[in-house]
A and B are shown apart, each in its own frame.
Chain A
């Protein structure tokens, strides 16, 4: 694979893939959004469902299954899947850690966050720990610049990180806990640090 996270070790491609009954219903709902003959437009959400069903990565069998389902060539599915960095072509760790290193996060100290991840997990970017628990990725802007620096672990954002809080989050994940998502400092969602937290308590300058 030309890009993406390397798996922990050798792995096997499953021989076949099929949506679970539940996912099939979900997929059909998405396909139905598009007019007849334009079902191929549903490929991205369907790839996402397939990746979730397969435990965080896209086996070839899944791409071939989707090609059949949407009536498109496998290479076309492969083109889409390989274009987006969110699709993984090989198994990734149970926790896929994506550290944002784009300018706002970098200015706010993403280098320290990334360094903390590397030293705690003992792996470099685009690698997976030998036990298959963590994979580490560098990500471009994930849209949480207000609370920079931040990282995404699977579907959850951890924001306002420092090296210490990063280690805390990773340690909690390693213990099998689910750390509190969102800001890791005393901040409510994306409100200013230290308040105000509502518009009613907001006082404009000079008031």
Chain B
């Protein structure tokens, strides 16, 4: 623990810290461009120069390890002059195009030029210009603005694990590019936009849309995967314009996936903004009264045993609770949230949680993936696994088809029999037994099979046999793909005594089906039953609906979501829902009144009190309540079929993403890349 002096103040910093961190510990801000806490140190921008006693010249504080008895000064004439000099050099080849630059107003270079720069330029020569590069449909490049900090190169190489961005050429002709201007393939690529300290890499879909000071910023939670990444929703007027990550070291550090960031345009497209009722086979616009009347009539003519309700992937816990209460009032036990048919057991909480916690992955020293591809199911988690892998002493094995996980994994095979062999103590089970903190991640691809419960049982056996669960460590992890799932399971939104399951509804065994944002099930047998679709987008569920009730999307309501770890978090309303759309719990509450089964809450606050009454840990927001280990899963025969992965197309997993033009473009680019024809897929002249 080195102790050093910064501007006369004595600070103690952890061993391995650098001088820049020591300065921050002393409360001194050091300007920087290339240095970033979560990336390796490059030391090439020179903006962080400080004076060290007995050193012959200023030192780059990011690249200098803090040592005992150092005397650092950051406010001397020498330091000020050094900063001015560095800034003058950086601005030599930087264009003065701030008025037309999307980074304007949130630009490190702009801010630091104001704070630390020289007031004029002595440069008379021509500035260099760099041709624009193509990095895919998400990243807009204006490479003339690049100051070669190489943050993007380091992010792609280290965090995202795709060595696709590099610096070619040398000296003044050095340029940042991808090989042959190919699109960056990572699902985390958008983060380079945040990392870029200047306007060289900006968001393509958000180009020229707004200035940062025009935006209303709302801190919220992401629902595109089950991680619940911390996000900031930037809106202007009624429209959400962009989504940025917030810091949350326990969940997403400071990264978000491309779907989280760029599916935002889907929030404004294909929206259900008024109720509809099917009349003579065609959906007609209707009033809330007419819609409720139609549902009430259908409900009264259906026996409670034939009434079912399903909760979709994006539903918040409040509306799930309201729907559950409504079904109980009606007398139906047919509720289900396991849209993908996963054989999850709602009675044992440890059986459906990511028990080690997302940050806990960094402690693990062996990992077995069972039917889970984290790079598509939870891209940010995948970066965390890679981070652990890069530290070394971490063995990864996987059961499932071979994919590029960005870290080395032994693919043991695709069949469920591989898991049986592991339970018998063979192969990778030895590695897990030898590990101090072994972990298992089981994906929905393994659990949504017919024999999912058996696989869950096998995983339980394996966990017990290999020390995955021990004192102070529970490495049994279920990785969900839906933001709503854990909350719904906590609320027991599964079939009760004699209740119908998702599979039964798909088979047409229900006569009245309430779909709360459910679009991912097989709809072929839902033409005959009376279907109520309550949701935000006109997707598959709305097509078969007899009544459509327009709901609010996650940016338009305050809703509680429990992430795959069991961490309850709350979204905040950034904008109002479009048209007649309402918050989902309020729709259910209003309808309950119409059919004489009034739900016992009149406000969101009252509903949340009931929520906590039923499930106490809903009171502890942003925290994880550890779940007790208990037996779960079942014994039986496993099917010889190969275990697949839950997500076929990362960009199209939910109605918001499917409505997004940006996501559609990503899919198109990915297909072109996959075609391997080697042609450039640039502008065609007819591309719009």
Report yes or no: A75 in contact with B166, Cβ–Cβ below 8 A: yes
Choose among B169, B173, B178 the residue with the greatest number of A CB atoms under 10 Å from its CB.
B169
Report yes or no: A76 in contact with B163, Cβ–Cβ below 8 A: yes
Min CB–CB distance B243 → chain A (angstroms)? 29
Report yes or no: A76 in contact with B175, Cβ–Cβ below 8 A: no
Known A-B contacts A60-B180, A78-B168, A83-B170; the reply to A2 vs B175 at CB < 8 A is: yes
Report yes or no: B166 in contact with A78, Cβ–Cβ below 8 A: yes
Min CB–CB distance A190 → chain B (angstroms)? 30
Report yes or no: A75 in contact with B179, Cβ–Cβ below 8 A: yes
Q: Which of A51-79 contact B (CB under 8 A)?
A: 60, 72-76, 78-79
Per-residue 0/1 for B179-198: is the Cβ within 8 Å of any A Cβ (1 yes, 0 no)?
11000000000000000000
Report yes or no: A79 in contact with B163, Cβ–Cβ below 8 A: no
Min CB–CB distance B176 → chain A (angstroms)? 10
Report yes or no: B179 in contact with A82, Cβ–Cβ below 8 A: no
Q: Is A3 an interface residue (CB 8 A)?
A: yes
**In the complex, which residues of chain B have a beta carbon less than 8 angstroms from the beta carbon of A2?**
168-169, 173, 175
A60 to B175, CA, bound (A): 18
A70 to B166, CA, bound (A): 18
Min CB–CB distance B393 → chain A (angstroms)? 16
Report yes or no: B169 in contact with A75, Cβ–Cβ below 8 A: no
A82 to B169, CA, bound (A): 5
Q: Please classify how large the interface on chain A is, using the bins under 10, 10 to 19, 20 to 34, 35 or more.
A: 10 to 19
A74 to B175, CA, bound (A): 16
Report yes or no: B173 in contact with A75, Cβ–Cβ below 8 A: no
**In the complex, which residues of chain B have a beta carbon less than 8 angstroms from the beta carbon of A83?**
168-170
Contact of A74 among B169, B170, B179 (CB under 8 A): B179
**In the complex, which residues of chain B have a beta carbon less than 8 angstroms from the beta carbon of A76?**
163, 166
A79 to B176, CA, bound (A): 10
Per-residue 0/1 for B144-184: is the Cβ within 8 Å of any A Cβ (1 yes, 0 no)?
00000000000000000001111111100101001110000
Contact of A82 among B163, B164, B168, B180 (CB under 8 A): B168
Report yes or no: A75 in contact with B178, Cβ–Cβ below 8 A: yes
Q: From DSSP, what is the main secondary structure of chain A's interface residues?
A: helix
Per-residue 0/1 for B342-364: is the Cβ within 8 Å of any A Cβ (1 yes, 0 no)?
00000000000000000000000
Known A-B contacts A2-B168, A73-B163, A73-B164; the reply to A78 vs B173 at CB < 8 A is: no
Report yes or no: B167 in contact with A79, Cβ–Cβ below 8 A: yes
A83 to B167, CA, bound (A): 9
**In the complex, which residues of chain A have a beta carbon less than 8 angstroms from the beta carbon of B170?**
82-83
Select from chain B the residue with minimum beta-carbon distance to A3: B173
Select from chain B the residue with minimum beta-carbon distance to A79: B166
**In the complex, which residues of chain B have a beta carbon less than 8 angstroms from the beta carbon of A79?**
166-168
Select from chain A the residue with minimum beta-carbon distance to B180: A60
**In the complex, which residues of chain B have a beta carbon less than 8 angstroms from the beta carbon of A3?**
169, 173
A78 to B164, CA, bound (A): 11
Min CB–CB distance B488 → chain A (angstroms)? 42
Known A-B contacts A2-B169, A83-B170; the reply to A75 vs B175 at CB < 8 A is: no
Select from chain A the residue with minimum beta-carbon distance to B165: A75
**In the complex, which residues of chain A have a beta carbon less than 8 angstroms from the beta carbon of B178?**
75
Min CB–CB distance A17 → chain B (angstroms)? 14
Q: Which of B346-384 contact A (CB under 8 A)?
A: none
A73 to B166, CA, bound (A): 10
Select from chain A the residue with minimum beta-carbon distance to B179: A75
**In the complex, which residues of chain B have a beta carbon less than 8 angstroms from the beta carbon of A73?**
163-164, 166, 179
A73 to B168, CA, bound (A): 13
A72 to B167, CA, bound (A): 15
**In the complex, which residues of chain B have a beta carbon less than 8 angstroms from the beta carbon of A74?**
179
Per-residue 0/1 for A78-105: is the Cβ within 8 Å of any B Cβ (1 yes, 0 no)?
1100110000000000000000000000
Q: Which of A1-43 contact B (CB under 8 A)?
A: 2-3
**In the complex, which residues of chain B have a beta carbon less than 8 angstroms from the beta carbon of A78?**
166, 168, 179
A82 to B173, CA, bound (A): 10
A73 to B178, CA, bound (A): 11
A175 to B627, CA, bound (A): 86
**In the complex, which residues of chain A have a beta carbon less than 8 angstroms from the beta carbon of B166?**
73, 75-76, 78-79
A79 to B179, CA, bound (A): 9
Min CB–CB distance B168 → chain A (angstroms)? 4
Select from chain A the residue with minimum beta-carbon distance to B164: A75
Select from chain A the residue with minimum beta-carbon distance to B175: A2
Min CB–CB distance A4 → chain B (angstroms)? 9
Min CB–CB distance B152 → chain A (angstroms)? 12
Min CB–CB distance B642 → chain A (angstroms)? 29
29 examples of A-B residue contacts, CB within 8 angstroms: A2-B168, A2-B169, A2-B173, A2-B175, A3-B169, A60-B180, A72-B163, A73-B163, A73-B164, A73-B166, A73-B179, A74-B179, A75-B163, A75-B164, A75-B165, A75-B166, A75-B178, A76-B163, A76-B166, A78-B166, A78-B168, A78-B179, A79-B166, A79-B168, A82-B169, A82-B170, A83-B168, A83-B169, A83-B170
15 additional A-B pairs beyond A2-B168, A82-B170, A83-B170, beta carbons within 8 Å, are A2-B173, A2-B175, A73-B164, A73-B166, A74-B179, A75-B165, A75-B166, A75-B178, A75-B179, A76-B166, A79-B166, A79-B167, A79-B168, A82-B169, A83-B168
Ranked 4 nearest A-B pairs via Cβ: A73-B163, A75-B166, A82-B168, A75-B179
